[in-house]
Amino acid sequence: MKTVGVLGSTGSIGLQTLEVCRWFPGELRVGALAAGSNVRLLAAQAREFKPQLVALADQSAYRELQAELSGLPVQIAMGEEGLNAVAAYAGSSMTVAAIAGIAGLKPTFAALEAGKQVALANKEVLVAAGALAMAAARRHNVTIFPVDSEHSAIYQCLAGEESFPAKLILTASGGSFRLKCMAELENVTAAEALCHPTWNMGRKVTVDSASLANKGLEVIEAHWLFGVGYDNIEVLIHPQSMVHSLVRFTDGSIKAQLGPADMRLPIQYAMLGSARLGNPAPVLDLADIGTLSFAKPDYARFPALKLAYTAGRSGSSYTTAYNAANEVLGAAFLAGRISFTAIGAGLEAALAAHTPCVLNNITDVLSVDAETKVFAEKYVEYNVL
């Protein structure tokens, strides 16, 4: 039996991770749980899964959580220290890193430094600090298993292969605005952006999907996970979201991984690997789908993707800046403060204003993150609707 700790247990990926744990009670055990501020849901999860440790980032809710867990033999930790304690919990062999945004950086590093295998659902860890994260994994002889469906697909396509891939091909649904023209994009709303055509995801990821910034983050992530240069990472728009990614090899052969649009499957693969245990997830029926289509992305309508390549080729501090600016701009759009097209324009401005630097440690990463967020917030203020 594998014991796992779950960072971000009340979020979208965290909830689906626990669903997978329900599928395999004889294979997976929950040893520790961490959440942001959702006391009642975290308490309900603790009552069901009976972890030894729970943590809440919101320190002001300690008394409420303590009351909810009264009578349970569980240790309670709070704040950043609590998240790090769950990440490094001694009883777990794997930590599922599902805290969105830069907030997931320190806990994920705490897991790596504690020698835990990491199932990584937080894109920002590798985008903001890829070189440091991969070095930590090598130093402690642990593996970072991708949870993103696209990177999981590549990971599965590379299994058993001896030759280096000639090209990684990430697929993108195209998001909520795939069919919108440039003029229409000026007036789209956050509510429209959150209506994703195929995936059920959190608010940030769904908006990032609409702008294709999410795919830009995944390009940078793929560079670090698989050691492939940016010229050999391609993105194709695939509206059906059934081919999760492809790998082209030097002999011209292409391998693809297909499956339903269900995040529980890559989560299962990250936690249990190639055992391929049966589960209650829906089965993909290709005859019902009928047609699978692919197209190149439109950089003019969705510049965030092209800017991710620019950031990646420019150096690691640029990708840190890209991630930070995108967090601010995406949140501002969700709040109705800026237009959708201001996301791409703001990213371009943030990268142009960034002064490159060497990232020696997490402190350096957080410094670039903070500086860029200040710039991005000023950009929002000047471009507020």
Q: What topology is assigned to 2-147 in CATH? A: Rossmann fold (3.40.50)
Burial readout 287-312 (b: 16 or more C-beta within 10 A, e: otherwise): eeeeeeeeeebbeebbbbbbbbbbbb
pLDDT digits (tens), the chain, 385 positions: 999 999 999 999 999 999 999 999 999 999 999 999 999 999 999 999 999 999 999 999 999 999 999 999 999 999 999 999 999 999 999 999 999 888 999 999 999 999 999 999 998 899 999 999 999 999 999 999 999 999 999 999 999 999 899 999 999 999 899 999 999 999 999 999 999 877 777 788 899 999 999 999 999 999 999 999 999 999 999 999 999 999 999 999 999 999 998 999 999 999 999 889 999 999 999 999 899 999 999 999 999 999 999 999 999 899 999 999 999 999 999 999 999 999 999 999 999 999 999 999 999 999 999 999 999 999 999 998 7
Question: Who's near 112: CB < 8 A, 6+ residues apart?
Answer: 118, 133, 136, 137, 140, 142, 144
Question: In the prediction, which pLDDT does 274 show?
Answer: 86
Residues in the chain: 385
- Note whether 204 and 100 are within 8 A (CB): yes
pLDDT, position 196: 81
Query: What pLDDT is recorded for position 199?
Result: 73
What tokens were used for 254? 């292409």
Taking only Cα atoms into account, the Rg of the chain, rounded to an integer number of angstroms, comes to 20
Given a contact cutoff of 8 angstroms between Cβ atoms, the answer to whether 261 and 242 are in contact is yes
In the block, residue with structure tokens 């769950």: 86
Rounded CA-CA distance 385/383 in Å is 6
Domain spans in the chain, listed from the N-terminal domain onward: 2-147, 149-300, 315-385
Six token digits for residue 212: 């294709």
Fold of 315-385: Rna Polymerase Sigma Factor; Chain: A (1.10.1740)
The pLDDT assigned to 198 comes to 79
Residue among 265, 8, 272, 259 at smallest CA distance from 123: 8
> Residue 67: is it exposed, middle or buried by C-beta count within 10 angstroms (0-12/13-18/19+)?
exposed
Whether 343 contacts 326, CB under 8 Å: yes
Measure the CA–CA gap between 377 and 328, rounded to whole angstroms. Answer: 7
- Dihedral, 199, 201, 203, 206 alpha carbons, nearest 10: -40
The Cα–Cα gap between 298 and 293 comes to 15
Instruction: Output the pLDDT for position 124.
Output: 87
Instruction: Supply 156's token pair.
Output: 């599965």
Residue 203, amino acid: R
The reported pTM is 0.94
